[in-house]
Amino acid sequence: MSFKIIFMGTPSFAVPILKSINNSSNKILEVYSQPPKKKNRGQKIKNSAVHDFAIKLNLPVRCPVSFEDNKEIEHIKTLKPDVIVVVAYGKILPEKLLNLENLIFLNVHASLLPRWRGAAPIQRAIMNMDKETGVSIMKIVPKLDAGPILIQSNLIISKEINQEEMSKKMSDIGAKLIIEALELIKKNKANFKSQDETKVSYARKIEKSEAKINWNEDADKIIAKINAFNPRPGCWFELSGLRIKILKAKEVEISGEPGKILDQNLTVACSKNSIQILVLKKEGKQIMTTEEFLRGNKIKIGQSLN
């Protein structure tokens, strides 16, 4: 038995999952993704990662601004899909779409639901210094990420892993898990279990203001945030009026006044312990090691960072 599937996704996280379904016995009818947007300094119009990958697979792509127009829902009805798979699509599906008969809506979510419902589950799990996270396949309901869970897979969070590395691991897990989920449904073995509402937490969208380093926090918390925001939006501080992003750092057991440079290795004091900056990016420049940065930039022991 082969399911007819509509896939909805936008970022690179969703690409391996799209590829996995396309390589399975199931048939992808169409791919939905966010509309192309202007990006970078040149303001060139760019497709999403899912959009570009769907083109490579010769799959038709649709990029509606919204689903409020009944025309889009009528179009989906004419395709007669069995399943709609949603992976970080970036749009809330309206009830009138979710209420279509004989159609299952599945979401691949990057957390162990009910923990970290919402837009930034990977970043929030790393920032919170959680010991583990995972991937959940759930049925979509009108309430955000609140649907019953079909299947989950756990993943340990190491202290060194960053957002990009974690996202890749979780995407690969999701690519395998979605095929398992579809097989369970085909064989009438799907057992959707309600989420425990007493254990819900929300992963709200990352705000730009969160990316500025607060040296009055403990070193381990600052490093967790650096990892969570690498590569985007990137944790930053100011040195001599220039904004500098930290991409990698390690905790060292040295004390000092928070925000002060403690040595020539660019070790900076925090509320508890300190961080030694290892990889950074100066505004308008390429990524470099601290050693490379210090060859062309003078720092002073005792200097304060903003």
pLDDT digits (tens, 9 = 90+) for 184-206: 999 999 999 999 999 999 999 99
Measured between alpha carbons, how far is 235 from 105 in angstroms, rounded to an integer? 36
Return the pLDDT at 101. 93
Nearest CA to 171 out of 16, 7, 6 is that of 16
Q: Do 4-203 and 208-296 agree at the fold level?
A: no
Domain regions of the chain by residue span:
4-203, 208-296
Q: What is the pTM of this model?
A: 0.94
Return the pLDDT at 41. 62
Alpha carbon 62 to its chain's center: 22
10-residue mean pLDDT profile of the chain (306 residues): values are: 96 98 98 88 85 98 91 95 97 94 97 97 98 98 97 96 98 98 97 98 96 98 98 94 95 97 97 98 94 93 94
Q: Within 10 A of 182 (CB to CB), how many other CB atoms are there?
A: 27
**Kind of pairing, strands 242-252 and 274-282?**
antiparallel
Specify the CATH number for 208-296; select among 3.30.450.20, 3.40.50.360, 3.10.25.10, 1.20.1270.10. 3.10.25.10
Q: Within 10 A of 119 (CB to CB), how many other CB atoms are there?
A: 16
Measured between alpha carbons, how far is 258 from 185 in angstroms, rounded to an integer? 55
Return the pLDDT at 87. 98
pLDDT digits (tens, 9 = 90+) for 28-67: 999 999 999 877 666 788 999 999 999 999 999 999 998 8
Nearest CA to 160 out of 220, 207, 237, 115 is that of 220
* CA-to-CA separations, 20 to 4, 54, 173, 237, in angstroms, rounded: 14, 12, 11, 40
Provide the CB-side half-sphere exposure for 283 (13 A, CA).
Answer: 9
**CATH fold for domain 4-203:** Rossmann fold (3.40.50)
Contact 8, 86 (CB under 8 A): yes
Return the pLDDT at 161. 97
Tokens, residue 243: 């904004």
Nearest CA to 170 out of 48, 5, 15 is that of 15
Q: Within 10 A of 197 (CB to CB), how many other CB atoms are there?
A: 8
Measured between alpha carbons, how far is 286 from 122 in angstroms, rounded to an integer? 26
